[in-house]
Amino acid sequence: MSYDILQRLTETIASRKGAAAETSYVAKLFSKGEDAILKKVGEEATEVLLAAKGGDKAHLVYETADLWFHCLVLLEQHDLSINDVLIELARREGVSGITEKMGRKND
């Protein structure tokens, strides 16, 4: 179930990329360009942090859903999808975080 909803959401977001801004929130975000999308991701990340700090688990789940949604919009802006992220997570599976970080080129 969890992968299915992410896949459907990814497909819906992709279908709205070229739609008229008046037709959907996602289309409106895409029409405003990458800076608007980046701003929303930053806002949602901050809201996740505040919800976690506040200790309200339901609010944390709600804000995390918003963050994930806006991250999916950002991925689509760059012609990427949840599958690209899942491939990266699979690549990292079973690898020590320390080892993985040492293997990065830009850290």
Mean pLDDT, residues 82-90: 93
Cα separation of 73 and 15, whole Å?
Answer: 11
Position 95 pLDDT exceeds 80 = no
Question: pLDDT > 90: what percent of the chain?
Answer: 80
* Cα distances (Å, whole numbers) of residue 63 to 34, 41, 48, 82: 21, 11, 5, 19
Provide the whole-model pTM.
0.85
Is residue 80 within 8 Å of residue 34, measured between CB atoms?
no
Closest CA to 69 of 50, 47, 88, 91: 47
Cα separation of 46 and 41, whole Å?
Answer: 9
- Residue-level pLDDT at 100: 57
Provide the CB-side half-sphere exposure for 94 (13 A, CA): 2
pLDDT, tens digit, 9 for 90 and up, residues 42-79: 999 999 999 999 999 999 999 999 999 999 999 999 99
Position 101 pLDDT exceeds 70 = no
- Residue-level pLDDT at 2: 76
